[in-house]
């Protein structure tokens, strides 16, 4: 039986850690998430104590949960013979008793005939974490205006030039300066991950690019449409340029600044969802 693609929602601040560590179960994150809720507390057998990673088969339903769970979206697949599934409404009405009515996803598929015919609010639970190489992070979909002054740069750069987008991502990460609530961080995530998969050689092309030249071109192009964002990014670029000096590697200095900012953000991550 073919595997089934599901979607998981989480706060955007969790995405960098998920990219490295994968999706961990609720039990794995117990030290960060606190006491179990009634649904996980009632889980039997191999799902006991919050040992689950959950998702939804319907993107439309997952989108209704953005305000509750976050604007980060992760896609992975499950074995329908092992994963359990049930209606979200059933869990909401009776969290503790819902486990008794969960069925293998394969049973839901046999009844529906096709993935597209499954109930829109069908939730899927598996007891195993998802390794990083087996998932894909999609473009975040925050509420309108969440990118603040960086909105125009995300709209103009993210999908049109992936090399430039990745370099501006590092500049925006550095501008966030360790603050996961800064619109610059959210913009960096939008520049990093898109719904369309990047080419396999993108990392190599970014490493070989003239970072200073590419970034200057973007900032010049966007300075009239996004003056506040360009001002913040240019300040960081000037600082990095000064730190690199005449003989230094600006690209390497930029990576160091963005990595330091990201490390601080990840350490203070939300991890709900």
Q: Is the pLDDT of residue 4 over 50?
A: yes
Q: Is the pLDDT of residue 88 over 80?
A: yes
Domain residue ranges in the chain: 4-137, 148-267
Q: C-alpha 73: how far from its chain's center?
A: 5
Closest Cα partner for 158 from 212, 209, 218, 200?
Answer: 218
- What is the model's pLDDT at position 273? 47
Closest Cα partner for 88 from 67, 47, 119, 66?
Answer: 119
- Give φ, ψ of 214 to 5 degrees: -65, -45
Give residue-wise pLDDT tens across range 137-167.
999 999 999 999 999 999 999 999 999 999 9
Q: Is the pLDDT of residue 96 over 70?
A: yes
- Give φ, ψ of 37 to 5 degrees: -80, 175
Helix, strand, coil percent content, the chain, rounded in steps of 5: 55, 10, 35
Calpha distance 168→198 (Å, rounded): 16
Q: Is the pLDDT of residue 246 over 90?
A: no
Calpha distance 69→62 (Å, rounded): 9
Give residue-wise pLDDT tens across range 171-218.
999 999 999 999 999 999 999 999 999 999 999 999 999 999 999 999
Instruction: Give residues with Cβ within 8 angstroms of 241, minimum separation 6.
Output: 212, 250
Cβ proximity of 19 and 5 under 8 Å:
no
Query: If residue 72 lies in a helix (H) or strand (E), which one and from where to where?
Result: strand 72-78
* Secondary structure (DSSP) of 129-175: -B-GGG-EEPPP-PPTTTTGGGHHHHHHHTTT-HHHHHHHHHHHHHH
Confidence of residue 30 (pLDDT cuts 50, 70, 90): confident
- What is the model's pLDDT at position 236? 97
Query: If residue 5 lies in a helix (H) or strand (E), which one and from where to where?
Result: strand 4-10
Q: Is the pLDDT of residue 33 over 80?
A: no
- Average model confidence (pLDDT) across the chain: 94
**pTM exceeds 0.85 for this model:** yes
> In terms of DSSP bridges, do strands 84-87 and 4-10 run parallel, antiparallel, or are they unpaired?
unpaired
At 5, list the tokens.
Answer: 């693609």
């Amino acid at each position: 039986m073919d595997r089934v693609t599901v979607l998981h929602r989480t706060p955007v601040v969790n995405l960098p850690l998920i990219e490295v560590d994968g999706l961990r179960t609720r039990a794995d994150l117990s030290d960060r998430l606190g006491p179990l809720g009634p649904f996980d507390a009632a889980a039997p057998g191999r799902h006991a104590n919050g040992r689950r990673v959950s998702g939804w088969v319907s993107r439309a339903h997952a989108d209704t949960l953005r305000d509750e769970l976050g604007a980060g979206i992760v896609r992975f697949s499950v074995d329908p013979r092992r994963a359990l599934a049930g209606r979200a409404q059933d869990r909401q009405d009776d969290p503790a008793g819902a486990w008794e009515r969960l069925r293998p996803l394969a049973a839901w598929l046999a009844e529906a005939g096709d993935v597209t015919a499954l109930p829109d609010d069908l939730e899927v639970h598996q007891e195993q974490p998802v390794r990083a190489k087996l998932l894909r992070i999609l473009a975040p979909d925050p509420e309108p205006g969440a990118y603040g002054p960086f909105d125009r740069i995300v709209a103009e750069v993210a999908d049109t030039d992936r090399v430039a987008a990745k370099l501006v991502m590092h500049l925006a990460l550095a501008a966030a300066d360790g603050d996961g609530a800064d619109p610059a961080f959210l913009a960096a995530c939008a520049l990093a991950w898109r719904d369309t998969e990047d080419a396999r050689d993108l990392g190599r092309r970014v490493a070989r690019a003239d970072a200073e030249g590419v970034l200057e071109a973007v900032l010049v192009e966007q300075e009239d449409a996004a003056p506040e964002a360009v001002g913040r990014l240019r300040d960081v670029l000037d600082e990095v340029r000064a730190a690199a000096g005449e003989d230094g590697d600006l690209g390497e200095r930029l990576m160091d600044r963005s990595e330091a900012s990201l490390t601080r953000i990840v350490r203070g991550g939300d991890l709900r969802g």
